[in-house]
Amino acid sequence: MKLTLIPALLLAAFAGSPAAIRFEADGVRVGSELVTGAAVSLKESGATPLLVSGGAVESLSGESLAVSLGAAQVDLGAGLRLSRTADGFRLSTHGMAFKVEASGKVLDAAHEVSFKVTEKGFDFGALGTLEGVSFAAKVASGTAAVVAAEGPQEVEISPERPTRHGRTKVLRRLYSTDPLAGGNAASSAAVRQIPRVTPDGAP
């Protein structure tokens, strides 16, 4: 009797501990807070910082992030964005290759793939299928190392030009779009290039 009771208690405890990040009908829940709308905000799940909107989530740390999709779950690796689509979900990076895996099966993706949750698991379209109630998504180790090694960069749009009073003005690249959008990753050089226009005569 005791031997059969213990596994049941463990199963109940696991079922009673949902992922701290959950996609819900009205938005994305981070702990007890429901994030709605298209605006992106910086949140924390425990000690893990992440970017969240009402339809997307992206971890800003090197830790995997458990994200609940209802009856299914995704272990989201660093550098990956999970977003909701009209008929499912989309995984994307910012130009980096990645892989999804479950039960020993691995599917390699370029920088973006859409999927649906099915009765048997997950359907990634032409990429293939994975069975089970959860899968892990991770950026390829080689590209992850390259991104980590990148240092801050500055991109100059226009060359320095002397003004009427002999001073110079340098324009720097400015991003005004959603930093979660493809190509503007929080983990990429793009955000580190964010904005500044130097005043006249400043170096």
Q: Is residue 171 part of a domain?
A: no
Q: Which two tokens stand for residue 48?
A: 């893990």
Say how far apart CA 141 and CA 25 lie, in whole Å. 34
pLDDT truncated to tens, each residue of the chain (203 aa)?
444 444 444 333 333 345 689 999 999 999 999 999 999 999 887 777 899 999 999 988 877 899 999 999 999 998 899 999 999 999 999 899 999 999 999 999 999 999 999 999 999 999 999 999 999 999 987 544 444 444 444 434 444 444 455 555 444 444 445 555 555 545 544 444 444 444 454 55
pLDDT attached to residue 170: 47
Say how far apart CA 76 and CA 82 lie, in whole Å. 8
Say how far apart CA 157 and CA 169 lie, in whole Å. 11
Secondary structure (3-state) at 41:
strand
Q: Is residue 203 part of a domain?
A: no
CA 11 to chain centre: 29
On the CB side of 146, how many CA atoms lie within 13 Å of its CA? 9
Say how far apart CA 4 and CA 89 lie, in whole Å. 38
Q: Is residue 177 part of a domain?
A: no
Q: Is residue 154 part of a domain?
A: no
Q: What is the pLDDT of residues 32-70, one digit of tens each?
A: 999 999 999 998 877 778 999 999 999 888 778 999 999
pLDDT attached to residue 114: 97
Q: Is residue 168 part of a domain?
A: no
Residue 120 sits in which domain range?
Answer: 13-147
The count of structural domains within the chain is: 1
